[in-house]
Amino acid sequence: MTETSEADTASARDESTAQVAALNLPVQTPSPARLPVVAPHRAKRRWARISMILAVILLGAGGGAYYWLHRLPELPEGIAYGNGRIEADPIDISTKFAGRILELRADEGDMVSAGQVVAVMDTRDLLASLKKSQSQVERAQKAISEAHANVDQMHSQSILANQEMNRARELLKNGWTTKEIVDQRQQQLDGAHAAETAAVARVNQAEHALSAARHDVELYEVNIADNTLVAPRDGRIEYRIANVGEVLPAGGKVFTMLDTSYVYLDVYLPTLTAGRVRIGDDARILLDAYPDQPIPAKVTFIATQAQFTPKMVETKTERDKLMFRVRVRIDAELLHAHAGDVRSGLPGLAYVKFDPKIDWPDRLQGKPQK
Protein backbone atom coordinates (compact mmCIF):
# COMPACT_ATOMS: atom_id res chain seq x y z
CA MET A 1 0.00 0.00 0.00
CA THR A 2 2.83 2.35 0.82
CA GLU A 3 4.77 1.50 -2.30
CA THR A 4 1.67 2.22 -4.42
CA SER A 5 1.22 5.69 -2.87
CA GLU A 6 4.88 6.59 -3.37
CA ALA A 7 4.63 5.53 -7.00
CA ASP A 8 1.55 7.69 -7.46
CA THR A 9 3.33 10.67 -5.90
CA ALA A 10 6.34 10.26 -8.16
CA SER A 11 4.16 10.02 -11.25
CA ALA A 12 2.27 13.14 -10.21
CA ARG A 13 5.57 15.01 -9.75
CA ASP A 14 6.74 13.92 -13.18
CA GLU A 15 3.50 15.09 -14.77
CA SER A 16 3.76 18.60 -13.13
CA THR A 17 7.37 18.87 -14.27
CA ALA A 18 6.37 17.97 -17.78
CA GLN A 19 3.62 20.61 -17.74
CA VAL A 20 6.03 23.33 -16.54
CA ALA A 21 8.50 22.36 -19.23
CA ALA A 22 5.74 22.56 -21.81
CA LEU A 23 4.86 26.10 -20.67
CA ASN A 24 8.58 27.22 -20.69
CA LEU A 25 8.33 28.33 -17.03
CA PRO A 26 11.40 28.45 -14.73
CA VAL A 27 11.59 25.65 -12.32
CA GLN A 28 11.77 26.81 -8.69
CA THR A 29 14.02 24.80 -6.50
CA PRO A 30 13.89 25.06 -2.74
CA SER A 31 16.61 27.36 -1.31
CA PRO A 32 18.36 26.86 1.95
CA ALA A 33 17.26 28.94 4.95
CA ARG A 34 19.05 32.43 5.29
CA LEU A 35 20.43 33.77 8.61
CA PRO A 36 19.67 37.46 9.69
CA VAL A 37 22.61 39.83 8.79
CA VAL A 38 23.06 43.46 9.97
CA ALA A 39 23.28 45.96 7.01
CA PRO A 40 26.73 47.69 6.68
CA HIS A 41 25.22 51.21 6.23
CA ARG A 42 23.38 50.93 9.54
CA ALA A 43 26.63 50.19 11.35
CA LYS A 44 28.32 53.17 9.73
CA ARG A 45 25.46 55.45 10.76
CA ARG A 46 25.68 54.22 14.33
CA TRP A 47 29.43 54.96 14.50
CA ALA A 48 28.97 58.43 12.93
CA ARG A 49 26.34 59.27 15.54
CA ILE A 50 28.62 58.13 18.34
CA SER A 51 31.54 60.18 16.91
CA MET A 52 29.35 63.29 16.67
CA ILE A 53 28.26 62.95 20.28
CA LEU A 54 31.88 62.58 21.40
CA ALA A 55 32.91 65.65 19.36
CA VAL A 56 30.14 67.76 20.94
CA ILE A 57 31.23 66.64 24.39
CA LEU A 58 34.88 67.48 23.67
CA LEU A 59 34.00 70.90 22.21
CA GLY A 60 31.82 71.74 25.17
CA ALA A 61 34.54 70.71 27.59
CA GLY A 62 37.13 72.74 25.66
CA GLY A 63 34.89 75.80 25.51
CA GLY A 64 34.17 75.57 29.21
CA ALA A 65 37.87 75.27 29.99
CA TYR A 66 38.69 78.25 27.75
CA TYR A 67 35.99 80.37 29.39
CA TRP A 68 37.18 79.36 32.83
CA LEU A 69 40.80 80.24 32.03
CA HIS A 70 40.05 83.50 30.17
CA ARG A 71 37.04 84.82 32.00
CA LEU A 72 37.30 88.36 33.37
CA PRO A 73 37.80 88.55 37.12
CA GLU A 74 34.99 90.10 39.04
CA LEU A 75 35.17 93.87 39.51
CA PRO A 76 34.58 95.61 42.83
CA GLU A 77 31.35 97.48 43.37
CA GLY A 78 31.72 100.98 41.93
CA ILE A 79 33.35 100.09 38.62
CA ALA A 80 31.31 99.58 35.47
CA TYR A 81 32.45 98.57 32.02
CA GLY A 82 31.22 98.33 28.46
CA ASN A 83 32.65 97.42 25.10
CA GLY A 84 33.22 99.64 22.08
CA ARG A 85 35.79 100.76 19.55
CA ILE A 86 38.53 103.32 19.90
CA GLU A 87 37.86 106.36 17.74
CA ALA A 88 39.65 109.58 16.79
CA ASP A 89 37.97 112.74 15.56
CA PRO A 90 38.00 112.82 11.74
CA ILE A 91 38.83 116.12 10.03
CA ASP A 92 38.13 116.75 6.35
CA ILE A 93 40.73 118.84 4.54
CA SER A 94 38.71 120.45 1.76
CA THR A 95 39.02 123.19 -0.83
CA LYS A 96 37.52 126.60 -0.16
CA PHE A 97 37.14 127.45 -3.85
CA ALA A 98 36.59 125.43 -7.00
CA GLY A 99 39.88 124.64 -8.68
CA ARG A 100 42.42 122.12 -9.93
CA ILE A 101 44.81 120.23 -7.67
CA LEU A 102 48.35 121.22 -8.60
CA GLU A 103 50.38 119.30 -6.02
CA LEU A 104 49.93 116.75 -3.22
CA ARG A 105 52.49 116.73 -0.43
CA ALA A 106 51.05 113.99 1.81
CA ASP A 107 49.57 110.53 1.41
CA GLU A 108 47.58 108.00 3.39
CA GLY A 109 49.24 106.98 6.64
CA ASP A 110 51.49 110.05 6.90
CA MET A 111 51.78 111.84 10.22
CA VAL A 112 51.26 115.59 9.75
CA SER A 113 51.59 118.52 12.12
CA ALA A 114 49.39 121.59 12.46
CA GLY A 115 50.12 124.09 9.68
CA GLN A 116 51.92 121.61 7.45
CA VAL A 117 51.15 122.02 3.74
CA VAL A 118 49.47 118.88 2.41
CA ALA A 119 48.17 120.08 -1.00
CA VAL A 120 48.47 123.06 -3.34
CA MET A 121 45.74 124.21 -5.74
CA ASP A 122 46.24 125.93 -9.11
CA THR A 123 45.99 129.70 -8.43
CA ARG A 124 47.05 131.25 -11.75
CA ASP A 125 43.72 133.03 -12.16
CA LEU A 126 43.93 134.44 -8.65
CA LEU A 127 47.51 135.56 -9.24
CA ALA A 128 46.38 137.47 -12.33
CA SER A 129 43.61 139.15 -10.34
CA LEU A 130 46.12 139.95 -7.61
CA LYS A 131 48.42 141.68 -10.09
CA LYS A 132 45.46 143.68 -11.38
CA SER A 133 44.59 144.83 -7.87
CA GLN A 134 48.21 145.74 -7.21
CA SER A 135 48.15 147.91 -10.35
CA GLN A 136 45.00 149.56 -9.08
CA VAL A 137 46.81 150.30 -5.82
CA GLU A 138 49.63 152.03 -7.71
CA ARG A 139 47.13 154.01 -9.75
CA ALA A 140 45.29 155.07 -6.60
CA GLN A 141 48.56 156.18 -5.04
CA LYS A 142 49.35 158.35 -8.07
CA ALA A 143 45.80 159.76 -7.98
CA ILE A 144 46.34 160.75 -4.36
CA SER A 145 49.59 162.50 -5.24
CA GLU A 146 47.83 164.36 -8.04
CA ALA A 147 44.95 165.29 -5.74
CA HIS A 148 47.36 166.67 -3.16
CA ALA A 149 49.05 168.76 -5.86
CA ASN A 150 45.65 170.12 -6.88
CA VAL A 151 44.94 171.01 -3.29
CA ASP A 152 48.19 172.92 -3.09
CA GLN A 153 47.34 174.70 -6.33
CA MET A 154 43.85 175.61 -5.18
CA HIS A 155 45.20 176.76 -1.87
CA SER A 156 47.63 179.08 -3.63
CA GLN A 157 44.81 180.49 -5.72
CA SER A 158 42.76 181.03 -2.60
CA ILE A 159 45.62 182.98 -0.99
CA LEU A 160 46.01 185.14 -4.13
CA ALA A 161 42.25 185.77 -4.33
CA ASN A 162 42.19 186.74 -0.65
CA GLN A 163 45.07 189.18 -1.12
CA GLU A 164 43.41 190.80 -4.13
CA MET A 165 40.20 191.06 -2.17
CA ASN A 166 41.97 192.85 0.68
CA ARG A 167 43.64 195.32 -1.72
CA ALA A 168 40.34 196.03 -3.46
CA ARG A 169 38.70 196.84 -0.13
CA GLU A 170 41.51 199.27 0.77
CA LEU A 171 41.22 200.95 -2.62
CA LEU A 172 37.45 201.19 -2.22
CA LYS A 173 37.88 202.99 1.12
CA ASN A 174 40.09 205.64 -0.54
CA GLY A 175 37.81 205.85 -3.58
CA TRP A 176 40.50 204.58 -5.96
CA THR A 177 38.35 201.66 -7.24
CA THR A 178 34.76 200.81 -7.80
CA LYS A 179 32.30 198.57 -6.00
CA GLU A 180 32.11 196.38 -9.09
CA ILE A 181 35.81 195.52 -8.84
CA VAL A 182 35.37 194.61 -5.18
CA ASP A 183 32.47 192.29 -6.07
CA GLN A 184 34.58 190.62 -8.75
CA ARG A 185 37.40 190.03 -6.30
CA GLN A 186 34.91 188.54 -3.84
CA GLN A 187 33.61 186.13 -6.49
CA GLN A 188 37.18 185.09 -7.32
CA LEU A 189 37.88 184.47 -3.63
CA ASP A 190 34.74 182.35 -3.21
CA GLY A 191 35.58 180.37 -6.34
CA ALA A 192 39.11 179.73 -5.08
CA HIS A 193 37.76 178.48 -1.73
CA ALA A 194 35.29 176.17 -3.50
CA ALA A 195 38.00 174.80 -5.78
CA GLU A 196 40.23 174.16 -2.78
CA THR A 197 37.40 172.32 -1.02
CA ALA A 198 36.77 170.19 -4.12
CA ALA A 199 40.49 169.37 -4.34
CA VAL A 200 40.49 168.23 -0.75
CA ALA A 201 37.44 166.04 -1.47
CA ARG A 202 39.25 164.50 -4.45
CA VAL A 203 42.12 163.66 -2.11
CA ASN A 204 39.71 161.83 0.22
CA GLN A 205 38.17 160.04 -2.74
CA ALA A 206 41.59 158.94 -4.00
CA GLU A 207 42.53 157.72 -0.53
CA HIS A 208 39.34 155.63 -0.33
CA ALA A 209 40.09 154.19 -3.77
CA LEU A 210 43.58 153.29 -2.55
CA SER A 211 42.12 151.61 0.56
CA ALA A 212 39.67 149.60 -1.59
CA ALA A 213 42.46 148.52 -3.93
CA ARG A 214 44.58 147.44 -0.99
CA HIS A 215 41.65 145.44 0.43
CA ASP A 216 41.31 143.72 -2.95
CA VAL A 217 44.99 142.83 -2.79
CA GLU A 218 44.51 141.44 0.73
CA LEU A 219 41.46 139.47 -0.42
CA TYR A 220 43.32 137.84 -3.29
CA GLU A 221 46.29 137.12 -1.06
CA VAL A 222 43.96 135.42 1.45
CA ASN A 223 42.28 133.43 -1.34
CA ILE A 224 45.65 132.34 -2.69
CA ALA A 225 46.73 131.33 0.81
CA ASP A 226 43.48 129.40 1.28
CA ASN A 227 44.26 127.45 -1.88
CA THR A 228 47.30 126.09 -0.07
CA LEU A 229 45.72 123.33 2.03
CA VAL A 230 47.29 122.79 5.44
CA ALA A 231 46.65 120.36 8.27
CA PRO A 232 44.57 122.11 10.96
CA ARG A 233 45.78 119.79 13.76
CA ASP A 234 48.43 117.21 14.49
CA GLY A 235 47.30 113.84 13.24
CA ARG A 236 47.48 111.09 10.67
CA ILE A 237 46.19 111.13 7.09
CA GLU A 238 43.55 108.40 6.91
CA TYR A 239 42.21 108.76 3.34
CA ARG A 240 43.36 110.51 0.18
CA ILE A 241 40.16 111.20 -1.74
CA ALA A 242 41.42 113.19 -4.76
CA ASN A 243 44.49 113.13 -6.98
CA VAL A 244 46.70 115.61 -8.82
CA GLY A 245 44.99 117.24 -11.80
CA GLU A 246 41.43 116.68 -10.61
CA VAL A 247 39.08 119.67 -10.67
CA LEU A 248 37.12 119.94 -7.42
CA PRO A 249 34.11 122.09 -6.57
CA ALA A 250 34.09 124.44 -3.62
CA GLY A 251 34.24 122.29 -0.51
CA GLY A 252 35.67 119.29 -2.39
CA LYS A 253 37.46 116.85 -0.07
CA VAL A 254 41.13 116.11 -0.68
CA PHE A 255 42.12 114.33 2.56
CA THR A 256 40.51 112.97 5.69
CA MET A 257 42.79 113.01 8.70
CA LEU A 258 42.46 111.75 12.26
CA ASP A 259 43.00 114.16 15.11
CA THR A 260 45.39 112.18 17.31
CA SER A 261 44.89 114.63 20.17
CA TYR A 262 41.22 113.64 20.58
CA VAL A 263 40.88 109.87 20.95
CA TYR A 264 37.93 108.35 22.76
CA LEU A 265 35.79 105.25 23.23
CA ASP A 266 32.01 105.30 23.56
CA VAL A 267 30.29 102.73 25.76
CA TYR A 268 26.66 102.20 26.73
CA LEU A 269 25.76 101.80 30.38
CA PRO A 270 22.38 100.90 31.90
CA THR A 271 20.31 103.53 33.61
CA LEU A 272 21.19 102.61 37.19
CA THR A 273 24.91 102.70 36.46
CA ALA A 274 24.95 105.72 34.15
CA GLY A 275 23.09 107.76 36.78
CA ARG A 276 26.06 107.41 39.14
CA VAL A 277 28.71 108.37 36.58
CA ARG A 278 29.91 111.99 36.54
CA ILE A 279 31.94 114.09 34.10
CA GLY A 280 35.61 113.79 35.05
CA ASP A 281 35.38 110.32 36.58
CA ASP A 282 38.49 108.21 36.19
CA ALA A 283 38.40 105.52 33.50
CA ARG A 284 40.56 102.88 31.87
CA ILE A 285 40.58 101.59 28.30
CA LEU A 286 41.71 98.04 27.67
CA LEU A 287 42.09 97.19 23.98
CA ASP A 288 41.82 93.63 22.73
CA ALA A 289 45.12 94.08 20.88
CA TYR A 290 46.89 95.17 24.10
CA PRO A 291 45.13 93.33 26.93
CA ASP A 292 47.98 93.95 29.40
CA GLN A 293 48.28 97.73 28.83
CA PRO A 294 45.38 99.67 30.39
CA ILE A 295 45.18 103.25 29.09
CA PRO A 296 44.22 106.03 31.52
CA ALA A 297 41.19 108.11 30.45
CA LYS A 298 38.50 110.43 31.78
CA VAL A 299 34.73 110.61 31.32
CA THR A 300 34.07 113.65 29.10
CA PHE A 301 30.48 113.12 27.95
CA ILE A 302 27.27 111.55 29.26
CA ALA A 303 24.19 111.47 27.04
CA THR A 304 21.20 113.35 28.41
CA GLN A 305 18.70 111.00 26.76
CA ALA A 306 18.54 107.24 26.95
CA GLN A 307 18.29 105.05 23.89
CA PHE A 308 17.67 101.42 23.11
CA THR A 309 20.63 99.09 23.30
CA PRO A 310 22.56 99.08 19.99
CA LYS A 311 22.91 95.67 18.37
CA MET A 312 26.70 95.74 18.60
CA VAL A 313 26.70 96.27 22.38
CA GLU A 314 26.49 93.25 24.67
CA THR A 315 24.68 93.67 27.97
CA LYS A 316 24.90 91.62 31.12
CA THR A 317 21.15 91.15 31.32
CA GLU A 318 18.38 91.35 28.77
CA ARG A 319 16.27 93.55 31.02
CA ASP A 320 18.55 96.58 30.52
CA LYS A 321 16.95 97.84 27.34
CA LEU A 322 17.50 101.58 27.80
CA MET A 323 21.15 102.65 27.85
CA PHE A 324 23.09 105.93 28.14
CA ARG A 325 26.07 106.67 25.93
CA VAL A 326 29.18 107.54 27.93
CA ARG A 327 32.40 108.78 26.33
CA VAL A 328 35.81 108.25 27.89
CA ARG A 329 38.69 110.24 26.40
CA ILE A 330 42.42 109.62 26.58
CA ASP A 331 44.56 112.44 27.96
CA ALA A 332 45.94 114.73 25.21
CA GLU A 333 49.47 114.81 26.65
CA LEU A 334 49.64 111.02 26.70
CA LEU A 335 48.40 110.96 23.11
CA HIS A 336 51.02 113.51 22.07
CA ALA A 337 53.76 111.31 23.51
CA HIS A 338 52.40 108.24 21.68
CA ALA A 339 50.88 109.82 18.56
CA GLY A 340 52.45 107.19 16.30
CA ASP A 341 50.69 104.39 18.20
CA VAL A 342 47.17 105.81 17.86
CA ARG A 343 44.84 103.52 15.91
CA SER A 344 41.17 103.95 15.09
CA GLY A 345 38.62 101.15 15.09
CA LEU A 346 40.34 98.80 17.54
CA PRO A 347 37.78 97.04 19.79
CA GLY A 348 38.15 96.97 23.53
CA LEU A 349 36.59 97.59 26.90
CA ALA A 350 36.21 100.82 28.84
CA TYR A 351 36.07 100.70 32.63
CA VAL A 352 34.55 103.63 34.55
CA LYS A 353 35.20 104.11 38.29
CA PHE A 354 32.24 106.09 39.61
CA ASP A 355 33.06 105.46 43.27
CA PRO A 356 36.13 107.54 44.27
CA LYS A 357 36.58 105.60 47.51
CA ILE A 358 37.71 102.40 45.83
CA ASP A 359 41.01 101.68 44.09
CA TRP A 360 41.62 100.21 40.69
CA PRO A 361 42.45 96.50 40.57
CA ASP A 362 46.08 95.71 39.83
CA ARG A 363 45.35 94.78 36.24
CA LEU A 364 43.73 98.20 35.63
CA GLN A 365 46.25 100.49 37.33
CA GLY A 366 47.01 102.09 33.96
CA LYS A 367 50.60 103.15 34.40
CA PRO A 368 51.57 105.04 31.22
CA GLN A 369 54.14 103.35 29.02
CA LYS A 370 57.39 105.28 28.63
pLDDT tens digits for range 283-298: 999 988 888 889 999 9
Average per-residue pLDDT for the chain? 80
Indicate the range of 83-97, 168-182, 290-304 predicted with least confidence: 168-182
Looking at residue 64, its pLDDT comes to 54
Question: What CATH code is assigned to 92-122+228-248?
Answer: 2.40.50.100
Look at residue 32 and tell me whether its pLDDT is greater than 60: no
Return the CATH fold of 124-226.
Helix Hairpins (1.10.287)
Looking at residue 59, its pLDDT comes to 72
Distance CA 74, CA 361 (A): 10
Rounded alpha-carbon distances, angstroms, from residue 273 to 295, 330, 332: 22, 21, 27
User: What is the end-to-end Cα distance of the chain in Å, rounded?
Assistant: 123
Question: Other C-beta atoms within 10 Å of 176: how many?
Answer: 10
pLDDT tens digits for range 102-137: 999 999 989 999 999 999 999 999 999 999 999 999
Looking at residue 338, its pLDDT comes to 77
Looking at residue 311, its pLDDT comes to 54
DSSP structure class, residue 175 = T
Phi, psi of 131 (to 5 degrees): -65, -40
Span 75-89+259-364 CATH architecture: Beta Barrel (2.40)
Tell me if residue 352 falls in helix, strand or coil: strand
The pTM assigned to this predicted structure is: 0.61
Domain ranges of the chain: 75-89+259-364, 92-122+228-248, 124-226
Q: Identify which has the larger pLDDT, 199 or 104.
A: 104
Can 92-122+228-248 and 124-226 be said to share one CATH topology? no
Distance CA 185, CA 206 (A): 31
Contact 252/92 with Cβ under 8 angstroms?
A: no
Looking at residue 103, its pLDDT comes to 95
Where is 195: in which H helix or E strand?
helix 179-226
Question: Other C-beta atoms within 10 Å of 124: how many?
Answer: 10
DSSP structure class, residue 98 = -
Contact 17/27 with Cβ under 8 angstroms?
A: yes
